[in-house]
Amino acid sequence: MQITPGRFDGTVALVTGGVSGIGASVTTRLLAEGATVVAVDVAEATIASFRGEHQDAGDRLDTRVLDVTDADAVNRTIAEVVEAHGKLDLLVANAGVGAAGAVADVDDATWRFVLGVDLDGVFHVARAALPHLVASKGSIVNTASISGMGGDSAMAAYNAAKGAVINLTRSMAVDYGHRGVRVNAVAPGPVATPLLRPILDANAVVRDTYAERIPLGRVGEPDEIAAAILFLASPDAAYVSGVTLPVDGGLTAWTAQPALY
């Protein structure tokens, strides 16, 4: 992981799902590059563990329990964050869940749960944060997925939610660009997060299929997705807005057709 010291000095960032997987890598790297980071998650034990691993961050790491599906809790938390830290410069809307099932196999509770976290959660935090981001001329980076750019087998709810996040990203970029706020998204491919890594370790067929189908020959690492998120959040992307950046080892570049010659 290539650190750029001081790149985010003075920045106050909120990262949802910020203490595990991709979110933990984003939080860790923002801290390393000078930001004050508010990392929120639903898992108190994971928050406590993450905090214990980052004691050297001192008061630049602020961890809180937050369920992004609860709009009132989101509103309260963001108001408290701005009161505590004086402003908000960056929102990384990263919290997400998945569930298997084709449409006829998905019950209402599963559908609402996946869309509630993956789509409503992005909407709730963006709505609460945007007045503060307008004031700071800040930015939003949403974690979408290549699953929002195409269909997967038996992932109807996740595909629907992530596709909506991509177009919500475009909508916010259009509505808030004239007010000084950039809005972008990353679309990770398969990433060795705590959810996927055990499957890769236990299932050679899945592991080998990924290696065959991804042009770079492997799944991604959380730090590699974090690097793309920090680029989009940084001054280097000052003229980038409304973009969804695939970070997928070239997977979406390939039609998966066999070689003919």
Q: Which are the catalytic amino acids?
A: 158
Residue 182's φ and ψ, nearest 5 degrees, are: -95, 140
**CB neighbourhood size of 242 (10 A):** 15
Query: How far apart (Å, rounded) are the C-alpha atoms in residues 46 and 40?
Result: 10
Indicate left, alpha or beta for 96 from its phi (over 0: left) and psi (-120 to 50: alpha): beta
Q: Is 226 helix (H, G, I), strand (E, B) or coil?
A: helix
First-last CA distance in the chain: 39
Query: How far apart (Å, rounded) are the C-alpha atoms in residues 81 and 75?
Result: 10
CA 227 to each of CA 15, 102, 130, 224, 244: distance values in angstroms, whole numbers, following the listed order: 14, 33, 23, 5, 14
Q: Which residue has the tokens 């938390």?
A: 77
Query: Two tokens at 72?
Result: 């009132």
